[in-house]
Amino acid sequence: MTYPLFFFITFFLMSISTSLLKYKEKLLSVIILITAVTVLSILNGARNFNIGTDIGVYGNITFQTASVTNSLYSFWKQSIQIYAGTPEPGYILLNYVISRFTTDPHIFYFILGLVTNGVMAYVTWLYRRQASPVIIYMCYILLFYGTSLNLLRQSVALVFELPMIYFLTKNKKGWAILWGGMAVSFHFSAILLIFPVFLYYLLSKNNHPAKAGLRAFLLSTLFVLFLIPFIRYASFNGLFDSKYMNYVNGAVTSKLSPINAILVRLLPILYMAYAAHVDKNRGRFDPLLMLCLVMSFIDIMLVPILVQSQAMSRLGLYFGIMRIIGIPMSINRVKSFWGRFFSTLFILVFMVIIWYLQNVIQGNNDIFPFSGIWWSDN
């Protein structure tokens, strides 16, 4: 049983689930969707403990500590020692709750996968009017799922960002704050989400879209220039734990090639820029699509920093993850059936190539070939 086979099964089930919605078979669609999420989450739980970085750093020891601790308060105090600083309460609480029912870390990672992959399935439903749910989920699987095997806490914070942005676009501030707060509770670096919130309001509350877009790009450039000084200032003044200084000190160098890093980001940017141009010709302005474009622009501007520090590249994910929404939205701007068909095919081929480069060629922290507790891809 191979690693990509799970992707294919998930893609197949997602397609069936989406098709059933057109025939108003909602209950059956939800059941198949849950099955698709479960299939993908099996990879999260079934992997051997050499798959991913955070498992060895804090993942296993955190859950094992929770399993032998009698109270949440005691577990919290011990977690401070594990993390050498204040741990994220959302992740700690999830560990403690699951440890009340099982002592097997594989089950914990499976449930953590259900949370991450399940929220992404919810995201496809939220954005279903803006883009194809199947393409959104495939973008997630091929561009970011491998990262979720490495980042246990931040992967949850990243997927929580997408519902936050959605409710922001619907002017449902309470729900947006809730999702943003939950993101921060799983990884304190999610405080950076304040910036896209500000960007969206800048884009959506302006009567001159062209000027708003230009201001957003200029503001983004300033953000990139002052990001590292901000992290240093926040760490020095106690706003961030000292561990975040590793993000800017280049303590762990990245294996990512600068050329590859730029190429994998450039095509989605060009594609979204084309979609924004189509909107302009039709007399439309979509603040969400422009936000995806600006966030991707920030992501590519961060490349010189990201290739110097693997830790810093984790912060860039808060901007790069918007490609999951931006690419499918751009496909929707193509009017003709065959135009959308070939655009979809081209994007899928592109993402498969990116997945191959990142996971097979560059290794992505040795998550491929995948080694599971029941099988091994060798």
Report, as an integer, the average pLDDT of 319-331: 92
Q: Which of 45-49, 102-106, 183-187, 212-216 has the lowest mean pLDDT?
A: 212-216
Q: Is the pLDDT score of 1 beyond 60?
A: no
pLDDT score of 127 more than 90: yes
pLDDT at 108 over 70: yes
Contacts of 247 (CB under 8 A, 6+ apart): 189, 231, 309, 311, 312, 314, 315
**What span, in angstroms and rounded, lies between the C-alpha atoms of 343 and 328?**
10
Alpha-carbon distance of 127 to 159, in angstroms, equals 13
Q: Tell me the Cα Rg of the chain.
A: 20
Does residue 123 have a pLDDT over 90? yes
> DSSP letter at 2?
-
314 pLDDT band (50/70/90 cuts)? confident
pLDDT: is 166 or 267 the higher one? Answer: 166
Residue 52, amino acid: G
pTM here is 0.89
Q: Is the pLDDT of residue 283 over 90?
A: no
- Helix or strand run (H / E) with residue 70: none
Flag whether pLDDT at 251 surpasses 60: no
Residue, of 217 and 239, whose pLDDT is higher = 217
**Beta carbons within 8 Å of 158's beta carbon, 6+ residues apart:** 144, 147, 148, 151, 183, 317, 318, 321
Q: Which H or E run contains 82?
A: helix 72-83
Average pLDDT over residues 328-346: 87
Banded pLDDT at 199 (limits 50, 70, 90): confident
Answer yes or no: is pLDDT of 359 > 90: no
- pLDDT tier at 164 (50, 70, 90 boundaries)? very high
Check residue 252 and give its pLDDT: 47
Sign of CA pseudo-dihedral 96, 98, 100, 105: negative
